[in-house]
A and B are shown apart, each in its own frame.
Chain A
Amino acid sequence: GENVEQHPSTLSVQEGDSAVIKCTYSDSASNYFPWYKQELGKGPQLIIDIRSNVGEKKDQRIAVTLNKTAKHFSLHITETQPEDSAVYFCAARFGNEKLTFGTGTRLTIIP
């Protein structure tokens, strides 16, 4: 089955700086890669996703890049703000199968 590794487990960034979270996956058949943000006491919220037919996708301050050859994908947050502090999870999926999640990254934005 699919295995997703996520790094780092914790990340502290000065407000205004950029944050990068990286994930690798094992199953080359995986073709859908979402990122979720989870705030304390709440469920995960989808913030961006990418399919295997593109290499990069951007939505305002958030971007995701995908390297299919290396089987890794990354989340980039620019101009970080205090409200970006949360736990971020990457995930991978093939077709309509179940999502496999990474272990999560606790991002702290330092004012």
Chain B
Amino acid sequence: GAVVSQHPSWVICKSGTSVKIECRSLDFQATTMFWYRQFPKQSLMLMATSNEGSKATYEQGVEKDKFLINHASLTLSTLTVTSAHPEDSSFYICSARIPRTGGVNQPQHFGDGTRLSIL
């Protein structure tokens, strides 16, 4: 079945550091990937939609310069948290959607998330 791989799974770093998270679709080409943030015991909050070869679309309230998204190929999207601070500590999850097939929109699959802890 479809697999989305996310790396790293856990990051601990000092305040002011920039952190890059990778999201790969392993057995399909994903023209669209999504980045979510999840706080403890809460639902997933969409941060941005990443389209291959074009600029990402950010949700209201999400800082574009803080959370840089690059979707350079059909199998890889990256999220860079720039100059991270303790309030950026969270669980970040990427997701990829299988391309529309036979006129039918396809399911969205998720990676296993990255737990980011900023000291």
**Inter-chain CB contacts under 8 Å: number:** 45
A46 engages B109 (CB within 8 Å): yes
Interface size class of A (residues with CB under 8 A): 20 to 34
A41 at the interface (CB under 8 A from B): yes
A98 engages B112 (CB within 8 Å): no
A25 to chain B, nearest CB (A): 14
Q: Given A96-B105, A98-B34, A98-B49, is A42 in contact with B43 using a C-beta cutoff of 8 Å?
A: no
Chain A interface, DSSP helix/strand/loop, else mixed: loop
Instruction: Encode contact with B along A40-59: 1 for CB under 8 Å, 0 otherwise.
Output: 01111110010000000000
Number of B interface residues at 8 Å Cβ cutoff, please give it: 21
B61 at the interface (CB under 8 A from A): no
Segment of A13-21, A63-71, A73-81, A100-108 in the binding face: A100-108
A89 engages B44 (CB within 8 Å): yes
Using a CB–CB cutoff of 8 Å, the interface residues on chain A facing chain B are 32, 34, 36, 41-46, 49, 89, 93, 95-96, 98-99, 101-104
